[in-house]
Amino acid sequence: MKLAYVTLQGRGRTDALIAAVADRLQADGLRLAGTVQSNIERPDRRKCDMDLILLPHGPVIRISEDRGDLARGCMLDSGALEQSVMTVQQRLSGADILIVNKFGKREAEGKGLVPVIGDAVDLGLPVLVGVNGLNLAAFLAFAGEEATALPTDVASVVQWCRHSVVALTA
């Protein structure tokens, strides 16, 4: 099984790394399925808006709820996330690799993109996952000893992805 993850400290850094890797892989002609997240800062809000780009070419789905600047707690729109999951699931069969921007709270609960990760593994597809520090223990419990921690630079992650796809087709 080819399952790898990256974790970076700092808001949005893992998202930026995953997005850069996806861009490089698409430029190489690899067929991607999965998600890339962009965070949109607004001057009138403490929290950013979160958009998922569904690979390979969209659509873009807003997965955060605007509950006002004083809102506390999670702003995730679970319905929008589940809509994204269904689309990604449908795209797995034509993909060379699955990229999941974040193993977050929903995934730590066994929901979100967890079933898609499992299906990709069952299909023998390489899987790259971004994991935030808060959910690293849950990810490792989910993945077991099968997960490989990757260095946190774009070139190393792209190299792992390319090698994993080539190994799959060899």
Q: Which residue has the higher pLDDT, 94 or 1?
A: 94
DSSP string, 44-79: T-SSPEEEEEEETT--EEE-B----TT--S--B-HH
Q: What number of CA atoms fall less than 13 Å from residue 163's CA on the CB side?
A: 9
Identity of the highest mean pLDDT range in 7-16, 69-78, 129-138: 129-138
The pLDDT, as a whole number, for residue 117 is: 96
The predicted pLDDT at position 122 comes to: 93
pLDDT at 71 over 60: no
Both tokens of 48, joined, read: 């950013």
CA distances from 111 to 48, 56, 163 (A): 23, 22, 29
List, for residues 77-130, the tens digit of each pLDDT value.
Answer: 788 888 999 999 999 999 999 999 999 888 999 999 999 999 999 999 999 999
Query: Would you tell me how many other CB atoms lie within 10 Å of the CB of residue 63?
Result: 23
What does the pLDDT read at residue 39? 75
Share of the chain above pLDDT 90, in %: 66
Kindly indicate the confidence band of residue 50, based on its pLDDT and cuts at 50, 70 and 90.
Answer: confident
pLDDT-derived band of residue 66, with 50, 70 and 90 as boundaries?
A: low
User: What pLDDT sits at residue 43?
Assistant: 64
**Two structure tokens written together for 17:** 């790394």
